[in-house]
Amino acid sequence: MASLNDITIRTELRPGDIGYVVYLHGKLYGKEYGYGIDFETYVAKGFYEFYQKYDETKDRVWICEHNEQIVGFLLLMNRGDAAQLRYFIIHPEYRGMGLGQKLMKLYIDFLHKCGYTSCYLLATNELDAAAYLYKKHGFELVEEKPSENFGKPLYEQKYELKIS
């Protein structure tokens, strides 16, 4: 079993990264939550938007690797005064070792460095572990609405973090 010290984190995209992270979202969310192909296409569209607007001074990715394989990912997308947290995923074999905490710290440090005044993320009501982590870092649930966007009934949620 790998430890947190065995994982490297880089902040530049390389060929294959986007496709693999889209695949990982489709595969894991399909298996763990029963999400349909609509979720995977949603992730792919978001990555396309991110890459088209990418500005290295305001946008960032954190790509976690072990043995040259992507095992975790987090993205910060510039939305003007706010930042959006997107595509936070950790491969099941690497959960519970503190990788999520480490990524959240890196994310929040970058928020402060860039001078963002707020941050938000969109999630679903089924992501209990992620919601716990977001709340632990100061995010608050501000909106919830029913949805069938990902192939089944659920609630889409919006969390916000105000930067002081």
Rounded to an integer, the average pLDDT of 1-24 is: 95
User: Which band of pLDDT confidence, cut at 50, 70 and 90, is reported for residue 162?
Assistant: very high
pLDDT of residue 81: 83
For every residue of the chain, which 3-state class applies, written as one string? Answer: CCCHHHCEEECCCCCCHHHHHHHHHHHHHHHHHCCCHHHHHHHHHHHHHHHHHCCCCCCEEEEEEECCEEEEEEEEEEECCEEEEEEEEECHHHCCCCHHHHHHHHHHHHHHHHCCCEEEEEEECCCHHHHHHHHHCCCEEEEEEEECCCCCCEEEEEEEEECC
Instruction: Please give the model's pTM, rounded to 2 decimal places.
Output: 0.94
pLDDT above 90 for 23 = yes
* Of 164 and 87, more confident: 87
pLDDT in tens, 126-152: 999 999 999 999 999 999 999 988 888
CATH number of 4-115: 3.40.630.30
Residue spans of the domains in the chain: they are 4-115
